[in-house]
Chains A and B, each alone.
Chain A
Amino acid sequence: MSAVSTQVETHSHAEDQSTAQWLWSILTTVDHKTIGRLYLLSGLLFFVVGGVEALAIRLQLSVPNADFISAQRYNELFTMHATTMIFLSVMPMAAGFTNFFLPLQIGARDVVFPRLNAYSYWLWLAGALFINSSFLVGAFPDGGWFGYANMSGTQYSPGPAMDFWNIGLMILGLSSMTAGFNFITTVLNLRAPGMSLFRMPVLTWMFTVVQFLVVMSFPMLTVAQILLLFDRNYGTNFYIPAKGGDPLLWQHLFWLFGHPEVYILILPSMGIVSEVLPTFSRKPLFGAPFVIFSGILIGFLGFGVWSHHMFTTGLGPVADSAFSLTTMLIAIPTAVKIFNWIATMWGGKLRFTAAMYHAVGFIALFTIGGLSGVMHASPPVDLQHQDSYFVVAHFHYVLFGGSVIGLFCGMYFYWPKMFGRMLSERLGKIGFWFFFVGMNLTFFPMHFLGVQGMPRRIFRYEEGLGWETSNAIASVGAVIIAIGTAIHLYAMLSSFLRPQDAPSDPWDGATLDWAIASPPHHYNFAVIPEVHSDRPFWDEKHENGPVVSQEKLAGPGEHHVPMPPPSYWPLVAAFFTAGVFIAFMFGKGADGFDLEAFKVQVAIQSVFALGMLLSILAWIREDATHR
């Protein structure tokens, strides 16, 4: 069995393939780079979907007493906008960068479990399609992305809409957790010789912290969701006050997940910016260990602040004070990072590329969002802000101004490495200004709206409350963001129409990922480099350091690297896994437990569980026979 074939890449290879072969190669890929590209492009696609949902929301709110969208449709839109942006857009885009660059930056040829990596992607795709397939049966989730009990229970959400949300999110969670096990093991175990933990690039460090947050926080969400599932399907009493249950249990479990989740969303962007700023300042990152330790500290503290989402639930002064304190504490490591980024630019030879525009914009916008965050760390202030547009303004500054702008910064910086094509600098800068102006127009007035008393999640407001101007400005801003998105997408799409033109090191980078071809060969590194500093490639180029670049390390034509062969089992296993979850849709009784429905569910579930078991067996057998 020569399945462990050696792929010596030739450039014309891709063009010989038919479309079917190309599709098959995607479906069976176990290459972390292909999987990374899939995550990134899928995330971009859902960014458009979530953006269209946001535009519809802004259309409805653009004028008072608007009648474009019904209240029900509006609930569906804000639920799906948040769910899409968080789980189907920002997380997969970050996962795309993680997949592609984490192995490259530590000098590895792939992740430790390449097939498990493919499994994570297909499972994610299944969950994403499943949530959105609710559209087909006319039951879009409408209970908010936070799915508060007992709003999400059968009493107030009787139809299948919240089942789609609940079960779909469980699938996405499982996908993220399996990816987390994979990446943590990769970082700890697959580093090139000499690549000690504190020689790892800050980007890889932030990805690592994120993976730890994922594997520790998602199980708590999963439990919260299982209890909700049992309440909805089998008539248990977890969130039913009439039976002694407490809806606050959901809030605790959800925010125990939900607050680490916001760091899952922002830390990858912080990592990207920490790579971009030093590169375009031609200086090392100022106080890099402080940035890394701040990231770790943010991750730790992220688990101790969940109740600041619940100040208005009346936890009592002691709990409120404690959570207020921990929340304010998080501002310290965050501010450390901001000062370090600024100090990195100080005295540097700045080059204002499109990526640098985004990075500097990130610092400014994220700081504004961070400051309003510290404001509602104080319970008395938060009591005024809760459920008002002030909160919407805050988290859009950190999520759009922070996460999204950081990820687009990553696009302009890393696209050449990922796809072998340069993105238009001009379009990137124009797109940035549309983003920057658009997002400030959209979200800054929301601070005022919030303080003026406009509540979140209302689909219509009366005239004469003084909210008209701000809302109109916000809606104009949303359109400007949409134009910016179109410009960025055009830059990306048009890059595919040109031949590959990216040099291996377009920005004079410092890390190992720039020391190999753009896009990298199938095997990444012909020879695993030995690392002697935290900027190995920079040292080779500018400091007469040891050689790490592949052209010099390996002669041409002698690349003979065994890589894991493609496999369709991840796709098959993901299909059956998703089926096991989706079968819960059939087990829901009309009112409480329904034995007949339960039997149907178990029957379907058994089939899928058997398929899952067999595909796992085949997966392991493939391992045994191919080695």
Chain B
Amino acid sequence: MDSVAHGSGHVDHHEEHHEERTSLGVSNLKLAFWVFLASDCFFFGSLIGTYMSYRGKSLVGPYPQDVFSVEVTSISTFLLLMSSLTMVLAVRAAKIHQQSKSESLPLTVMGWMWATAAMGAIFVGFQVYEFNHFYHEGLTLQGNLFGSTFYTLTGFHGTHVAIGVLWLLIESCIWIPMKWIRGDFADRVDVTGLYWHFVDIVWIVIFTLVYLLEFVR
């Protein structure tokens, strides 16, 4: 993203690190991202609201208890939660790297990002397996309300994870090595982290309301 920086009228071109002077002290990209996440809350809020208002209203099966395997989903949930840890470690490594003013490739940052992306990819893999399995159990997008709402909600979440994986890979394999990110490098990694944690938090809500709630007696 290009940003318009404020300065005096005679900004010299040697201002190397392109320090943004912002009114709130938060970088423009990060602030814009917070606003986007607020917006995305309403997106997922509506999808989750739709799921919950149609919960238990399917006229025909299969019903959630018929298909859910909470063990399998717990494993993928655990992986996704752990990926937030590796993301935090990537953000921390980026801050250390930036403070060291080192010109070398930030391999630790890239490594933690790859670990995060790998776990995200495995999560998506689990979801593909789960969708496939449920489909063969007879749960289809068209068959009943549960199918329609379940696949739509978790599908959009899975898409968010997949976009996050793609983002992590592009950032760690192109932007960082090619030095497309200059200036506040740690801040950019932090923004990626914001998105990742958000997607994670949304999954905690989905996992609780969609899966765990079915096992409350």
Contacts and interface: CB of A to CB of B under 8 A. Distances in A.
Nearest to A182: B32
Nearest to A253: B46
A188 B31 contact: yes
Contact of A216 (B31, B42, B47): B42
A223 B43 CA distance: 6
B141 A236 contact: yes
Interface in B42-75: 42-43, 45-47, 50, 53-54, 57-59
B39 A112 contact: no
A191 B39 CA distance: 23
B148 interface: yes
A109 B6 contact: yes
Interface centre among A215, A525, A559 (most CB of B within 10 A): A215
Interface residues on B, range: 35 or more
A623 B2 contact: yes
B145 A110 contact: no
**How large, as a class, is the contact surface on chain A?**
35 or more
Given A215-B38, A223-B50, A244-B145, A113 B57 contact: no
Interface in B1-39: 1-4, 6-11, 13, 18, 22-24, 26, 28, 31-32, 35-36, 38-39
A185 B35 contact: yes
A111 interface: yes
A219 to B, nearest CB: 4
B152 A236 contact: yes
B40 interface: yes
B19 to A, nearest CB: 12
Given A234-B142, A623-B180, A109 B35 contact: no
A555 B3 CA distance: 27
A466 interface: no
A561 to B, nearest CB: 6
Contacts of A564: 2, 4
B175 A620 contact: yes
Interface in A183-226: 184-185, 188-192, 195, 215-220, 222-224, 226
Given A226-B152, A235-B141, A235-B142, A188 B6 contact: no
27 contacts: A112-B3, A113-B2, A184-B32, A185-B31, A189-B26, A190-B6, A190-B23, A215-B36, A216-B42, A217-B42, A220-B42, A230-B141, A230-B148, A235-B141, A236-B152, A237-B144, A238-B50, A243-B59, A249-B53, A528-B9, A560-B9, A560-B10, A560-B11, A561-B11, A563-B4, A592-B142, A627-B18
Given A215-B39, A560-B11, 19 more contacts: A108-B4, A111-B4, A112-B4, A112-B32, A115-B1, A185-B28, A185-B31, A188-B24, A189-B26, A216-B39, A219-B42, A220-B45, A223-B43, A238-B145, A244-B58, A244-B59, A528-B9, A593-B142, A620-B175
Sort A-B residue pairs by CB-CB distance and give the 8 closest, nearest first.
Answer: A624-B180, A223-B46, A219-B43, A236-B148, A189-B22, A219-B42, A527-B9, A215-B39
